[in-house]
Amino acid sequence: MAEFTMELNDEQKEVRDWLHGFAADVIRPAAAEWDEREETPWPVIQEAAKVGIYSLDFYAQQYFDPTGLGIPMAMEELFWGDAGIALSIVGTGLAAVGVLANGTEEQIGTWVPQMYGDANDVKLAAFCSSEPDAGSDVASMRTRAVYDEVKDEWVINGTKTWATNGGIANVHVVVAVVDPELGSKGHASFIVPPNTPGLSQGQKFKKHGIRASHTAEVILDDVRVPGSCLLGGKEKLDERLARARERAKAGGERVKNAAMATFEASRPAVGAMAVGTARAAYEVALDYAMTREQFGRPIIDNQGVAFQLAEMRTQIDAARLLVWRASWMAINGKPFTAAEGSMSKLFASETAKKVTAQAIQILGGNGYTREYPVERMHRDSAIYTIFEGTSEIQRLVIARTLSGMPIR
């Protein structure tokens, strides 16, 4: 087990500096253009693939870093560049985590490489869980998967929403209901291979922020996938469902569902994204406050500005500490006995919203214009308190974990 430390080793520092350079030289110059276009920034993704950032090898190296700091470090640097473009680069990772969290070794080896492709043929993947009537309330999910025993196929029907890369992805990971009587315990995850008949893109959303990231509905109309596309396999699913039925009869403990396993693994990474955006806005505000003069002196000479910057930096550092702690705990198998993963996501996401708003205030009228990046950063920051579990849901998870009570 790796010891928890705040000191990056030489290899990690080298990777961090490399990512920072890519974010500064490639992502940032393109950020405003793709935000305005509201389109997937294919040239940037392709450049990331060419240098090795958008690749299975890079993702695996960071994911399996024994310190747990590889992924949060990478997320912070890329999202420091721009949240929308960075999400386009890392969005495939959520689907990959879904396979890693629920799939067999054979499934991981087969499908995760196909999610990325290579530098000459870039691929994308999408994780599809939310539905029009089932966001935070996963028990209300309606997408159904029915097993056709004769053909050894699963037939999936339903509509997914808020899917990053939804409809344009080569590989989709879909969470569906296999036993409606078990509520959220009766869910399973499925791989939908490329060009599977019946899967189509629905509405593409025009968003407040992260506009360079493609977000859309995914329609599943009699989608048939082989039995081998059930993540974890049918034997494991049948065993899990049987345990869930027994516990339901006995009023016993809850069983984690497929979507929650994915979100638990990714929440500290979302916190790291928020830290990157907050840090970017803070740095713009600090530079502006040191160079902008009013009444014959830099505005940072005023306590009202200086104290805001001090608070901004303190909150960013505190958020990073929580994210790194949760990431270290996760890679080393430490249970989140106090919902530390949710803590990190909650605090970091709320920090990003607050810090970006403070940055606009420090820049004044300039901060409200698109001539400066902080207004875009503020729009982007709103997503962190919403996706992969709203701040309200994070507080509920934390409270239930601490108390053991079914708080509603």
Digit-coded pLDDT (tens) for 299-314:
999 999 999 999 999 9
Mean pLDDT of 327-340: 91
pLDDT of residue 281: 98
Q: Is 264 a catalytic residue?
A: no
pLDDT of residue 263: 60
Quickly state the pLDDT bin for 134 (edges 50, 70, 90).
Answer: confident
pTM, 2 dp: 0.91
Quickly state the pLDDT bin for 249 (edges 50, 70, 90).
Answer: confident
Q: CA 256 to CA 246: how far, in whole Å? A: 15
Residues 6+ apart with CB under 8 A from 350: 385, 391
Catalytic residue among 39, 106, 388, 392: 388
| Residue among 180, 182, 189 nearest 254 (CA) | 182
pLDDT of residue 407: 74
Residue 153 clears pLDDT 90, i.e. is over it: yes
Residue 261 clears pLDDT 90, i.e. is over it: no
Quickly state the pLDDT bin for 48 (edges 50, 70, 90).
Answer: very high
Mean pLDDT of 155-183: 96
Quickly state the pLDDT bin for 255 (edges 50, 70, 90).
Answer: very low
Mean pLDDT of 143-147: 97
Quickly state the pLDDT bin for 320 (edges 50, 70, 90).
Answer: very high
Residue 7 clears pLDDT 90, i.e. is over it: no
Mean pLDDT of 369-376: 96
